[in-house]
Amino acid sequence: MVQSRKTALKENWKRKSLKQPALGELALLQEIRARAAGMATSATVKSRVQLGIGDDCALLRPRKGEELAVTTDLSIEGRHFRLDWHPPESVGHRTLARGLSDLAAMGAKPVAAFLSLGLPRNLTVSTAGTRSWVERFLDGLLALAAEHHVPLAGGDLAESPIAIADIVLTGAVPKGEALLRCGAKPGDRIYVTGSLGGAAAELAALQTSPEDFANATESSAIRPHLFPRPRVAQAVWLRKHGLASAAMDLSDGLSTDLAHICEESSVAAEIDAAALPLGPGATLAMALHGGEDYELLFTAPQSAKLPPKIAGVKVTAIGRILPARTGRPRVVLLTEKNSKPVSVPLEPHGWEHFRI
């Protein structure tokens, strides 16, 4: 049995006294508070975060005419990441990226993040000149947070038999202007940002030889699985220009996520296999079902003029929205068989990771 107290060690990163404090944990709390306090945040973010770490709650102040988008994403050791596969920086980066990508799906600008962290004690210990697992986790998380100017405004910390991280992201969006899943109309074109399937391809390589990735960092190469790029700037651009009729982020894979848009919008869709922008090393199956690419999937009226790139990231038309018809599949894939065009139903098949 673990030794424990009735409350977690921390609420809102506020240090709580312990009868016999473990030095590593207290040092960790101090480090998190210091690093969160030292984060560079823009004046516009600061104006929305009235009170951060240090009281019972953080206080957020959306500006006049704004709504606050809220999302929460749970990452569990052995399920969303593995200690023997993923560098700690990648786990921290991915934890935050999942939440940022949900904000992007709504066209919201990040305001503040909250992190609940459960950790086995050994992950908080530094050994002989190396940084501890959690310090490297924070390196990855805070680097991405700094890039998106999103402060860590609170959270909770507890000892746990396995590593878990729950991330909460809050974002601002003008009232009534959030990008939703439900606005796609027949005739709309379907677009994706970036490329698809690269995350699944990199995960397959990681699974085969994790030692090749042990020291992977964000800057070392394109790392669609280990260091995905949430498309916040691209989504905010789309929202500001009023071009997207529906949007979501590609976390489960195109086949699954497009089915969600069709369901919520009461429409059907067809995808051109030849048009799909494949990521590095990706097969067609990975692009269709791989998931975790954290690209944007969106629809726009045929008349909308989309630029070839938004905020430096390419945009590709991959298909069309159709009217929903009884007896017709929700989503079909236009492809070729024996050099002849065929249309096959595209079932939602999220890529299965961590297979037994």
Least gap, CB of 233 to its own copies (angstroms): 17
Determine the angle formed by the axes of helices 88-106 and 133-147, rounding to 10 degrees: 30
Q: Which of 276, 314, 309 is nearest to 196 (CA)?
A: 276
Q: Which is nearer to its own copies, 98 or 189 (CB)?
A: 98
Q: Which of 91, 188, 102, 208 is nearest to 138 (CA)?
A: 91
Give the angle 18-156-152 at the CA atoms, nearest 5°. Answer: 125
Distance spanning both ends of the chain, measured CA to CA = 28
- Whether the CB-CB separation of 252 and 289 falls below 8 Å is answered with no
Say how many CA atoms lie within 13 Å of 300 toward its Cβ: 21
Q: Which is nearer to its own copies, 10 or 136 (CB)?
A: 10
Q: What's 239's DSSP letter? A: H
Q: Which two three-digit tokens encode residue 79?
A: 């399920």
Q: Distance between CA 193 and CA 255 in Å, rounded?
A: 16
Least gap, CB of 340 to its own copies (angstroms): 30
- Whether the CB-CB separation of 135 and 126 falls below 8 Å is answered with yes
- Whether the CB-CB separation of 162 and 77 falls below 8 Å is answered with yes
Q: Other C-beta atoms within 10 Å of 220: how many?
A: 11
Q: Which two three-digit tokens encode residue 153?
A: 């405004």
Element (H, E) at 192: strand 189-193
Least gap, CB of 278 to its own copies (angstroms): 18
Residue type, 137: F
